[in-house]
Amino acid sequence: MKLFLDTGFSEEVKSVREWCSIDGVTTNPSLIAKSGKSFRQAVGDICEVLPDGDISAEIISMEYSQMLEEALSISDISKNIVIKIPVSEQGLRLTEELSRRGIRTNLTLVFSLPQVLLCAKAGATYISVFMGRIDDIAFDNAVNILSNAVSVVEKYHYSSEILAASIRHPVHLVQTMQEGVHAVTVPYSVLKGLYKHPLTSSGIDRFMLDWEAAGLDLQK
Ligand code: E4P
């Protein structure tokens, strides 16, 4: 399973990289805006920190020729860029074109199975299904959509990978693992808490107390 960090901050990528082997980073216009840097600076810094990861960076235009221009210009930033495209008629058209040119894509803001099918047929590299935002409106079941999305691409042998996005808490991550989702992108606040468990902490304390009480030494 691929694990991505959902952030616009290269500092977070650097810090996580020290203890967790992430496969890439996903950004979006809101995350880049929070970073306080220019778009190219923020994305370039992330690519530099994670030169072998897949770094998703999003286009912002809605008109086809501008979308293509933006996609080509963003993909020039680094060889590990994946072009993030909101799903739409022009977005699907752009996905097909970039796929023909060998440029990888991440179709974003995906909330339904019909959208998943169209993204897969267009040749999307990743299809980002947003769990938290589906849960927010309680209109559908995010786990069912993800699980069916994985079945669709696997059953019909599409090359796309389903990427679970909009992860708000560790239970979302556990659900993606249970459903065999191919990739997941997790915000820094959630990722930082994942290795913690009260029994791990109390277990470490117990070991230390017993060790010290017995006067043990690692060299003896
Ligand atoms: C996906 O790639 C998006 O960047 C992200 O997961 C959106 O999460 P949010 O719904 O918490 O904003």
Q: Which tokens go with 165?
A: 């996005």
**How many domains are there within the chain?**
1
Find the catalytic residue in 84, 155, 196, 220: 84
Ligand 1 pocket mutation, candidates 30, 84, 134, 166, criterion most atoms within 8 A of CB: 166
In tens digits, the chain (220 residues) has pLDDT values of 999 999 999 999 999 999 999 999 999 999 999 999 999 999 999 999 999 999 999 999 999 999 999 999 999 999 999 999 999 999 999 999 999 999 999 999 999 999 999 999 999 999 999 999 999 998 889 999 999 999 999 999 999 999 999 999 999 999 999 999 999 999 999 999 999 999 999 999 999 999 999 999 999 9
Q: Could you confirm whether 84 is annotated as catalytic?
A: yes
Q: Could you give phi then psi for residue 39, rounded to 5 degrees?
A: -55, -50
219 assigned to some structural domain: no
Q: Could you give phi then psi for residue 18, rounded to 5 degrees?
A: -70, -25
Given this model, what pLDDT does residue 137 score? 92
Distance (Å, whole) CA 101 – CA 94: 11
CATH of the domain at 128: 3.20.20.70
Given this model, what pLDDT does residue 129 score? 98
Given this model, what pLDDT does residue 139 score? 82
Query: For the stretch 118-142, what's the b/e string if a residue is b when 16 or more beta carbons lie within 10 angstroms of its beta carbon?
Result: bbbebbbbbbbbbbeebbeeeeeeb
Contact status, residue 158 vs residue 121, Cβ threshold 8 Å: yes
118 assigned to some structural domain: yes
6 assigned to some structural domain: yes
Distance (Å, whole) CA 90 – CA 95: 9
Residues with Cβ within 6 A of ligand 1? 6, 26, 28, 31, 108, 128, 130, 132-133, 165-166, 185
The DSSP element (H or E) to which 209 belongs, if any, is: helix 198-213
Distance (Å, whole) CA 141 – CA 197: 28
220 assigned to some structural domain: no
Q: Ligand 1 center to residue 1 CA distance, Å?
A: 18
**In terms of residue numbers, what domain contains 130?**
2-214
**pTM listed for this prediction:** 0.95
Given this model, what pLDDT does residue 18 score? 96
Contact status, residue 120 vs residue 152, Cβ threshold 8 Å: yes
